[in-house]
Amino acid sequence: MKFFIDTANLDQIREANELGILDGVTTNPSLMAKEGITGQENILNHYKAICAIVDGDVSAEVISTDFNGMVEEGERLAALHTNIVVKVPMTVDGVKAISHFTKKGIRTNCTLVFSSGQAILAAKAGATYLSPFIGRIDDSSWDGIELIEQIAEIYSIQGYETEILAASVRNPLHIVRSAQAGADVVTCPLSAIMGLFKHPLTDIGLAQFLADHKKANS
């Protein structure tokens, strides 16, 4: 399973990249706004800065909601760097745009996915990645991981090549359960990645090893 970080914060992207396990980055308009990145020129430059840090796919989301706008914007984003993946919302125009980008060899990430039906549409359009929002599904008392399992089964039966990118990940358990459910990629905040390291027995065991070494060598 590939690990992407879900942020537009350059410090956090650097920190995750230094772990040596990072495969890419996803952003969205909310994450860009959170970092205070506004105005087209600044937004495009910020994507270039992210691509300069990480040697992996970087999802850049279109803001347009109509087909022509998405195509124009997506082609501009894709031209920024070979690692840019154009992120497109799961709408009627979005699916048309994904289909257009697929024919042109531009890679896409279909976002805001909340059902298996939507997952089938995105795969049919040739999306490179599919982003089911598991945290937001859990927030509405449905089971986000169950959706990943269902999509993984459908994609396997049908031989769809679209990669399942578990998104809206909130904690380390989401990462573990996404891996178990068959996600190809997980995109998560740095806090969720760092949470995977934690186990009290690791800390206790290391302290004991160091104490024993010190005693034996003093």
Residues recognised as catalytic: 87
Q: Please, which residue, 76 or 136, has the CB nearer to ligand G3P? A: 136
Q: Please, which residue, 69 or 135, has the CB nearer to ligand G3P? A: 135
Q: In whole angstroms, how close is the CB of 67 to ligand G3P at the nearest point?
A: 23
Residues numbered 163 to 182 that lie near ligand G3P (CB under 6 A) are 167-168
Q: In whole angstroms, how close is the CB of 208 to ligand G3P at the nearest point?
A: 38
Q: Please, which residue, 12 or 168, has the CB nearer to ligand G3P? A: 168
The three-point CA angle 143-148-150 to 5° equals 95
Under 8 Å between Cβ of 1 and 185: yes
Under 8 Å between Cβ of 165 and 184: yes
Q: Of 94-102, 117-125, 129-137, 142-150, which segment contacts ligand G3P by CB under 6 A?
A: 129-137
| Structure tokens belonging to residue 120 | 């089938």
SS (H, E, C) 36-81: CCCCHHHHHHHHHHHHHHCCCEEEEECCCCCHHHHHHHHHHHHCCC
Size of interface with ligand G3P, in residues (CB under 6 A): 11
CA 131, chain centre distance (Å): 7
Q: Please, which residue, 78 or 130, has the CB nearer to ligand G3P? A: 130
**What is the DSSP-derived secondary structure letter of residue 127?**
-
C-beta neighbour count of 177 within 10 angstroms: 21
| Structure tokens belonging to residue 171 | 């904690």
Q: Which of 114, 133, 155, 160 binds ligand G3P (CB under 6 A)?
A: 133
Phi, psi of 154 (to 5 degrees): -60, -45
From residue 86 to residue 125, what is the string marking binding to ligand G3P with x (rule CB under 6 A)? ----------------------------------------
Q: In whole angstroms, how close is the CB of 167 to ligand G3P at the nearest point?
A: 3
Q: Does 136 bind ligand G3P (CB under 6 A)?
A: yes
Q: Of 15-23, 26-34, 38-46, 201-209, which segment contacts ligand G3P by CB under 6 A?
A: 26-34
Find all residues with CB under 8 Å of 112, minimum gap 6, and list them: 89, 90, 131, 133
Q: Please, which residue, 100 or 132, has the CB nearer to ligand G3P? A: 132
* Backbone angle region of 131, left / alpha / beta, with phi > 0 → left and psi within -120 to 50 → alpha: beta
- List of residues contacting ligand G3P (CB under 6 A): 6, 26, 28, 31, 131, 133, 135-136, 167-168, 187
